[in-house]
Amino acid sequence: MTPRAESKHPEIGAGAAPAGAAETAGAFGLDADPILFSDSLRMDFGGLTALDQVSLTVERGSITALIGPNGAGKTTFFNCVTGIYKPGSGSIFFLPEKEKRISLGGLRPHKAAQLGIGRTFQNIRLFNTLTVLENVLIGCHARMRAGLWGALFRDRKTMEEERRMTDLSYAILERYGLQARVNDPAGSLPYGEQRRLEIARALASGPSLLLLDEPAAGLNNQETLELADLIRHIRRDEKLSVLLIEHDMSLVMNVSERINVLDYGRLIASGTPEEIRKNPDVVRAYLGEDADDLG
Ligand SMILES: Nc1ncnc2c1ncn2[C@@H]1O[C@H](COP(=O)(O)OP(=O)(O)OP(=O)(O)O)[C@@H](O)[C@H]1O
Ligand SMILES: [Mg+2]
């Protein structure tokens, strides 16, 4: 995937900005400092267009939501960002720092974590028979420098690194209230704690962008309220940006500064929670589900 000549965000990152770029940025509601943006992203599965010319932006330091009815293309967007799918056309850029722009097209999945993109999955993907601590240690892997040599011969540097990662894992588990569970098999945890553990594991890789795919699915009202607090704390304490896919509109409206709405693979709206709640296209897209959900 190469950046398209008619890119809608030519002013971002390294390289000279073409004339008219400022107006283009304004037209797309783009502020000065995105951490991620896609430009005319398209993904087809056979005859089905899951993403159709999707151009959206996540501002650095923001909590941004990606919402839309079932099958709208939300998870497909995450899979394109993390290299699980290779988009048919268009581009995605990640800017871990303001002046550093990395094209994510065709990325190998393990590279996304190394670059600083952490994610959780719609259907929890933990190693159920491994302990809570081991699950978080696996999340640390993206930070580790030891290669096959270190793993086989366990030299001093490797041992030190492993000790550092174990300390870090304990610290993360303590910060996110799972310290009493370190030696329990992940599969034995109640559902809400499994969701929290998945977030802790994603944080262990030290991401600057955290992608959460329906983190409130299966949680009760109290757990969902706690999750809202957790997401805000993570953003502040870990100094990262969050892109959140969620069907629970109370959570979305509660934590997001900006909301993007997909419907049948197209971005139909992007704005503040207030703007999205009043947007007639969004209300129409949700009518098939429950328009009252928009709050
Ligand atoms: N690997 C795949 N092969 C074929 N079709 C796929 C594949 N992945 C996704 N799709 C299709 O692409 C469309 C978008 O799917 P996606 O999972 O991105 O939706 P979603 O917005 O995450 O929905 P939900 O809210 O139900 O999770 C759907 O029609 C889905 O069936
Ligand atoms: Mg999904």
1-8+34-116+207-295: what fold? Rossmann fold (3.40.50)
pLDDT at 145 (0 to 100) = 66
- Range with the poorest average pLDDT among 14-18, 42-46, 180-184, 269-273: 14-18
pTM of the prediction? 0.85
Q: What is the pLDDT of residues 25-60, one digit of tens each?
A: 334 444 579 999 999 999 999 999 999 999 999 999
Q: Is the CB of 285 under 6 A from ligand 1?
A: no
User: Which residue has the CA at smallest separation from atom 31 of ligand 1?
Assistant: 71
- Which atom, in ligand 1's list, is nearest to the CA of 73? 18
Q: What is the pLDDT of residues 201-230, one digit of tens each?
A: 999 999 999 999 999 999 999 999 999 999
CA of 150 to the centre of ligand 1 (A): 40
Which of 38, 75, 244, 249 to mutate to test ligand 1, by most ligand atoms within 8 A of the CB atom?
Answer: 75
pLDDT at 30 (0 to 100) = 47
CA of 195 to the centre of ligand 1 (A): 21
Q: What is the pLDDT of residues 70-81, one digit of tens each?
A: 999 999 999 999
CA of 191 to the centre of ligand 2 (A): 18
Q: Is the CB of 76 under 6 A from ligand 1?
A: yes
Residue ranges, comma separated, of all CATH 3.40.50.300 domains in the chain are 1-8+34-116+207-295
Q: Is the CB of 80 under 6 A from ligand 1?
A: no
Work out the average pLDDT over 137-158: 73
Q: What is the pLDDT of residues 224-274, one digit of tens each?
A: 999 999 999 999 999 999 999 999 999 999 999 999 999 999 999 999 999
24: CB partners within 8 A, 6+ apart: 8, 9, 10, 11
Which of 38, 43, 44, 48 to mutate to test ligand 1, by most ligand atoms within 8 A of the CB atom?
Answer: 48
Ligand nearest to C-alpha 213: 2
